[in-house]
Chain A
Amino acid sequence: MKKLFIAFWRRNLAFSELAIVSNLEYRFNFFIDAFVQPLITVGIELLMWFAIFETANAVQIGGFGRDNYLAYGVWAPFLGRIAVSWMYESMMVEEVASGSINVILTRPISFYEYYLSQLMGYKVTTTLISMIAPLAVSLFFDLPVHYSRLPMAIALVFYYLFLVHTLSFVISTFAFYMTRVRSLTLVKNLTLWLLAGELVPIDLMPPAIAKILLLSPFPAGVYTPVAYITGRADSDLVLQSFISVTISMVVAVIIGAVLWRKGLQSYTGTGA
């Protein structure tokens, strides 16, 4: 058992290192991804909330003050970028659609694991670097951020990433059955983005919609962790998110496994 775990850990570590190395190979590209883009996004969100409070002539909106919204505007895009998988999902779909999946099928690692470890390696690296922007802005403006809650919030987002990756896996299995899958990725990611609460805090939405959204696993990507670190929510919501992500993951894994198995049976690998 121990040997099996060590072998599992080593090969996953190797693939996450591969992701880190390949992303750091082009440093300008990485710098843009991990630093410049988050900084621009944070700046635009700050301006937006400054203007809303300035012109609304209100001390509070929806029960929270300006600084609370600024904190939300700073952290939501940052966590939102962690909680999404465009690049690796596209690569997974492409592998299945083009037939280059043959190479992975012959390796002593599953397709799911191969991309999961790469995704995690990439996300850990970009998170570490890009966190500088929201941290610096929060400290500079003295925003109401509970820094002691950050590890739990980040842990929740990374746990949510397992669900995101499983959904990517499900989407990629559609490439066994369909010729074009890109549109599925687009629709799925935009839906997740909307439901996660990055665009606008979920508690500002009409109460009935907010209640339903909070029961779903998707706010675990953005709203719940940001609400937790900015004091809009407590640990009960975090726990609820962990539970709903777990349940959704079980469902997604079952669907993915069935589609994968059926897909592989109908798949014919060609080429030398």
Chain B
Amino acid sequence: MIQNLLKYLGLYRAFFKASLVADLEFRLNFLLLVAGECIWYGTQLLLYEVIYRHTNIIGDWTLEQMRVFVFLALFVDSIYMILWDPNFSKFNDEVRKGNLDLLLTKPVNSMFMISSQKVSISHLPCLVFTGAGLIWALQAIPDFSWYRLFWLFLLIPSGLSVIFVGRLALNSTAIIFSRADFLQYVWYSIFRLGLRPDAIYKGFLRYVLLFVLPFAMVASIPTRFLLEPIQLGFIAWALVMPILLLTFMNWYWKFCMRFYSSASS
């Protein structure tokens, strides 16, 4: 078990080094990518800053609380972008061009190979910016107990599992339909659910976003752990949910692979 873990960590270190060299090779491109991501994150902040000029509360959060939510959502998004996004973005091409064949023959988990080969180095500055932004936003919360940040060690990996499984499941569906590039864009639309506070969703939909398509676990619930009294039920759910999601993904990946016909040979 530990040997296996060390093997994957070693592989990941090699992927990281290769990505670092590749990304820093074109420095202007790298700087522009960082600028582009900063614009994207800036727009998410701007949305709420502009709306709060005209209202004092959205859902049940004030502007100060909403800033915590937005920075936390962007922080989690940065981690996702660093670890997986470049791989998922080229997933359809890998399938169509037959590069998936090569990955399937390697003595390593194929889901790991297809999702982790490229690390997005240009998002590392964003991780620092959004992390600093989160600390800044929390400072504005009266009587905030900094010990609450420890909850994020449980809740952020849990939220990341939602993003990982959601994106990989959508991409895997592209294997069944020989061409489904636009499913990627559906992902960007669905992911907006996670970039909005859960309080704006009412009744049945809120339950769906907590337990079926659990995008509320990405940033909304972690924000509530930081700002509100702890709800024990959500701790249990944050522990169980990733296991359920990854089990489902494992099954679904194998299911989709049945439809895969090699493109390169």
- Interface residues, chain A, with chain B CB atoms under 8 Å away: 26, 28-30, 32-33, 36-37, 40-41, 44, 47-48, 50-52, 55-56, 58, 61-62, 178-184, 186-187, 190-191, 193-194, 199-200, 204-206
Contacts and interface: CB of A to CB of B under 8 A. Distances in A.
B148 interface: no
A62 B54 CA distance: 7
Nearest to B53: A204
Given A37-B186, A40-B190, A190-B36, A61 B54 contact: yes
B248 to A, nearest CB: 21
A44 B196 contact: yes
A47 B186 contact: no
A187 B35 contact: yes
Of the four ranges (under 10, 10 to 19, 20 to 34, 35 or more), the interface on chain B belongs to 35 or more
Contacts of A190: 36, 39-40, 43
Contacts of B42: 194
A40 B58 contact: no
A205 B177 CA distance: 43
A186 B29 CA distance: 10
B141 interface: no
Contacts of A28: 177, 179-180
Nearest to B174: A29
Q: Which 4 A-B pairs give the minimum distances between C-beta atoms? A: A51-B200, A183-B32, A56-B55, A180-B29
B177 A26 contact: yes
Given A44-B192, A51-B59, A199-B47, A183 B29 contact: yes
Nearest to B57: A55
Given A29-B177, A29-B179, A200 B200 contact: no
Given A194-B39, A199-B47, A47 B54 contact: no
Contact of B186 (A36, A187, A204, A206): A36
B4 to A, nearest CB: 36
Nearest to A51: B200
Contact of B181 (A29, A184, A200): A29
A40 B189 contact: yes
A134 B142 CA distance: 43
5 contacts: A33-B182, A41-B192, A180-B28, A180-B29, A206-B53
B56 interface: yes
Interface in B204-262: 205
Contacts of A30: 182
**Interface residues of B: mostly helix, strand, loop or mixed?**
helix
Contacts of A206: 53
A183 B35 CA distance: 9
B28 A178 contact: yes
Given A32-B186, A62-B54, A26 B43 contact: no
B66 to A, nearest CB: 11
A175 B30 CA distance: 16
A55 B58 contact: yes
Interface in B30-86: 30, 32-33, 35-36, 39-40, 42-43, 46-47, 50-51, 53-60
Contact of B39 (A47, A187, A205): A187
A200 B180 contact: no
A50 B183 CA distance: 27
B179 A26 contact: yes
Contacts of A56: 54-58
A246 to B, nearest CB: 27
Contact of A183 (B33, B51, B59, B177): B33
Contacts of A33: 182, 185
B150 interface: no
A206 B42 CA distance: 16
Interface string B15-32: 000000000001011101
B169 interface: no
Given A44-B192, A48-B200, A200 B50 contact: yes
B12 to A, nearest CB: 24
Contacts of A204: 50-51, 53-54
B17 to A, nearest CB: 20
A61 B51 CA distance: 9
Contact of A41 (B36, B50, B189): B189
B129 interface: no
A117 to B, nearest CB: 21
A149 to B, nearest CB: 25
